[in-house]
Amino acid sequence: MHYYKIELDRTEMADQHSCRDLLPLEADKISSTDVIKCSSSEDGCGFCIMRVNTNSDVDVKESVYKVEGGEVQIDKVSSNNYLASITNTRCHLCAMINKCKCFLMSAISKGDKVEWTIVGQDSSSVRELVSTLRDRGYTVNLLAGGKFNEEMTLTAKEEKYLRIAFDQGYYDVPRRTDLDTLCERIGCSKSTLNVSLRNAERKIIGNYEVGRN
């Protein structure tokens, strides 16, 4: 298994109906978006869970929104922090990823750019995807690449504990909760939770740093 970190210029997107564009919000009301999970089907339908941060004066109603090209369910996590479950029925990117036998592990928005971590069964499959994207008119920059291993992925327990900690405000500034409160909610010891969160943080930070080398 191989991975590539690639950067796509969103200002030169060759296809419409990216998941971000399906959000029932005007672009100037969105502070940032991060794709947490993404999957695709052969017919070009994409499914993703996206974290959405809005500007301080924006409040979004929790609901299911029918939009052109798909459906969006909005759930409020905290003030100006939402999770969006998006069904994109016209995701040409998902079709390309699936055809090249690759997986989209993460997609992080950075202004007009989006940074993908792509994993394929071998290096040629990932290179084929990059070549296909360029042939379709996308501007693609390679940031990093190499052999994919388990140290780059969170275990089920690490992902669960990290998600609960994030949703409960453990990573907010200032923090809205502490380890003792999280332990009571999760039902585990403080040492177990602390080690799991530190391991998850190490993997995430390590993966981020790889993309900067």
Q: Print burial letters for 88-100: b (CB count within 10 Å at least 16), e (below 16).
A: bebbbbbbbbbeb
Q: What Å distances lie between residue 102 and 21, 93, 99, 112, 164, CA to CA?
A: 23, 11, 8, 24, 29
What does the block give as tokens for 7? Answer: 């950067």
13-69 pLDDT tens trace: 555 557 888 899 888 898 888 777 777 766 667 888 888 989 888 889 999 999 988
Same-domain status, 202 and 159? yes
Same-domain status, 135 and 176? no
Higher pLDDT, 140 or 149: 140
Provide the number of structural domains found in the chain.
Answer: 2
Ramachandran sector of residue 62 (left: φ over 0; alpha: ψ -120 to 50; beta: rest): beta
Q: Which of 148, 169, 187 lies at the terminal end of a domain, its last residue?
A: 148
Percent of the chain with pLDDT over 70: 85
Q: Which domain holds residue 173?
A: 151-210
Same-domain status, 66 and 171? no
Same-domain status, 159 and 142? no
Q: What Å distances lie between residue 62 and 59, 73, 81, 87, CA to CA?
A: 9, 8, 12, 16
Kindly report the pTM of this predicted structure. 0.53
Q: 165 and 182 in contact (C-beta within 8 Å)? A: yes
Please tell me the distance from the alpha carbon of residue 176 to that of residue 153, in angstroms, as a whole number.
27
Residues whose CB falls within 8 Å of the CB of residue 171, separated by 6 or more in sequence, listed in order = 165
| β strands within 41-166, DSSP E | 46-54, 63-67, 70-78, 81-88, 102-110, 113-120, 140-147
Specify the pLDDT at position 10. Answer: 64
Same-domain status, 127 and 51? yes
pLDDT band for 95, please (50, 70, 90 cuts).
confident
Question: What average pLDDT does range 108-136 have in this prediction?
Answer: 82
Same-domain status, 98 and 28? yes
Same-domain status, 79 and 161? no
Same-domain status, 111 and 55? yes
Amino acid letter at 70? G
Specify the pLDDT at position 206. Answer: 63
**1 burial type by CB count under 10 A (0-12 exposed, 13-18 middle, 19+ buried):** middle
Q: Which of 148, 168, 196 lies at the terminal end of a domain, its last residue?
A: 148
Same-domain status, 53 and 65? yes
- Other beta carbons within 10 angstroms of residue 5's beta carbon come to 23
Q: Print burial letters for 159-179: b (CB count within 10 Å at least 16), e (below 16).
A: eebbebbbebbbeeeeeebee
Same-domain status, 66 and 138? yes
pLDDT band for 210, please (50, 70, 90 cuts).
very low
Q: Which of 148, 173, 202 lies at the terminal end of a domain, its last residue?
A: 148
Same-domain status, 119 and 166? no
Same-domain status, 83 and 95? yes
| Among the ranges given (81-85, 122-126, 176-180, 181-185), the one the predictor scored with the smallest mean pLDDT | 122-126
pLDDT band for 111, please (50, 70, 90 cuts).
low
